[in-house]
Amino acid sequence: MTDEGILLVVSGPSGAGKGTICNALRKLHPEICYSVSATTRAPRTGEIDGVSYFFTGEQKFREMIKADAFLEYAKVYDNYYGTPKKQVLDLVAQGHTVLLEIDIQGAMQVKSKYPQGIFVYIVPPSLAELSYRLYTRDTDSKEVIRRRLEKVTDELALAHQYDYIVVNDELPDAVDKVRAIMMAERCKLARNRERINTVFKKYICEEVHHHDD
């Protein structure tokens, strides 16, 4: 038996910097398993199928919904995004830390299906900063950005459903905080029952051998 791993869900309004934080965390912790989502959105320059996302057509995405293949899925602006279920849950069951970087609707679905997950909400330091980031990122049209900013107030209201809040003011600090959350969660007693049993057994065996000598 191994202790169950951690499903670490990093979420927040778009432009809050969750993608950048997750990438930095994965560099520091190569043992983290990153869940590659499926999406109906077209690849952006530099994005690789199967690495950034699994780029699927709407038809395929619908088939996956029907087959109950998603842990969660949501329409984020004009495209569908979903987390493939089986691989994520298998990896967690095997004791791995699995990282999901998903939108707020999706995070709330994961919370209802897997409440023992760790839910981290990334907040931009201010609305003005968020707006600046979205415009300078230059990945979306003005219309998409306008809709994203309109949604932020509703999204902020959901922050109280999360376990942790991280304000992304200075990137290295925000990464440190998410890392600290992950490390503390890994050390929780409830997540280490099997490990403790193994260690204690080892101590007892060593003690017996010691007396035999």
Note the residues at the interface with ligand 5GP (CB under 6 A): 14, 37, 41, 72, 74, 76, 81-83, 101-103, 105-106
Q: Which is nearer to ligand 5GP, 41 or 186 (CB)?
A: 41
Do β-strands 79-84 and 70-76 pair in parallel, antiparallel, or remain unpaired? Answer: antiparallel
Q: Which is nearer to ligand 5GP, 143 or 213 (CB)?
A: 143
Q: Which is nearer to ligand 5GP, 71 or 182 (CB)?
A: 71
Place of tokens 């939108």: 103
The DSSP symbol for 160 reads G
The least CB distance from residue 193 to ligand 5GP, in Å, is: 31
Q: Which is nearer to ligand 5GP, 24 or 192 (CB)?
A: 24
The least CB distance from residue 32 to ligand 5GP, in Å, is: 16
The least CB distance from residue 7 to ligand 5GP, in Å, is: 13
Tokens matching residue 16? 């809050």
- Do residues 16 and 151 touch, judged by C-beta distance below 8 A? no
- Do residues 47 and 93 touch, judged by C-beta distance below 8 A? no
- Do residues 83 and 110 touch, judged by C-beta distance below 8 A? yes
Tokens matching residue 47? 């994005």
How many CA atoms lie less than 13 Å away from 65 in the CB half-sphere? Answer: 15
The least CB distance from residue 4 to ligand 5GP, in Å, is: 21
The least CB distance from residue 192 to ligand 5GP, in Å, is: 29
Tokens matching residue 153? 């107030």
Q: Which is nearer to ligand 5GP, 14 or 97 (CB)?
A: 14
Give dist(CA 9, CA 93) in Å, integer.
16
